[in-house]
Amino acid sequence: MADCIFCKIAAKDVPAPIVYENADVVAFKDLNPRAPLHVLVIPRRHVERLSELDDEALAGKLTLAAAKVAKDAGHGDNFRLVVNNGAGAGQSVFHVHFHVLGGRLFSWPPG
Ligand code: AMP
């Protein structure tokens, strides 16, 4: 989508520190990290939010890529996966993304 910053990152029109990519997904470091490891995993294809993602295979690929990113960063045993779905849940970029967070303790429930 023309105006989507994450589409531009996926297309490499906007630079970002990409840590993993394959034919379907791209993972890059968050601009404003909330943990020592904070990577965003996105589908190359523009989908606004998780509740609009209807491709089970792609959902699986996003999940497995997130686990791989955590493992490759040395946090495979302790990491948190977060999806903010909708503005009311804290979503600010409307291209679905999984936050992969690791390297510190996390409280529960999340705020
Ligand atoms: P959310 O609030 O769940 O939609 O998360 C959006 C995330 O995208 C935030 O953690 C931002 O710091 C991050 N972000 C926004 N723009 C960029 C960018 N150009 N490169 C990397 N991360 C970004």
Question: Is the pLDDT reported for residue 17 higher than 90?
Answer: yes
| pLDDT tens digits along 64-94 | 999 999 999 999 999 999 999 999 999 999 9
With 0-12 / 13-18 / 19 or more C-beta atoms within 10 angstroms meaning exposed / middle / buried, residue 14 is: exposed
Ligand 1 atom closest to 28 (CA) = 21
Residues in a beta bridge with 99: 40, 82
Task: Give the residue carrying structure tokens 């995993």.
Answer: 41
Q: How far apart are the first and last CA of the chain?
A: 31
Angle (CA) 82 87 91, round 5°: 35
Is residue 77 left, alpha or beta, with left meaning phi > 0 and alpha meaning psi from -120 to 50?
alpha
CATH superfamily of the 5-102 domain: HIT-like (3.30.428.10)
Q: Give the mutation target among 32, 34, 41, 83 for probing the ligand 1 site: most ligand atoms within 8 A of CB.
A: 32
pLDDT cut 90: percent of the chain above it: 96
Q: How far is the CA of 15 from the centre of ligand 1 (A)?
A: 13
The set of catalytic residues is: 97
Q: How far is the CA of 49 from the centre of ligand 1 (A)?
A: 14
Domain boundaries of the chain, sorted by first residue: 5-102
pTM of the model: 0.98
Angle (CA) 57 63 66, round 5°: 140
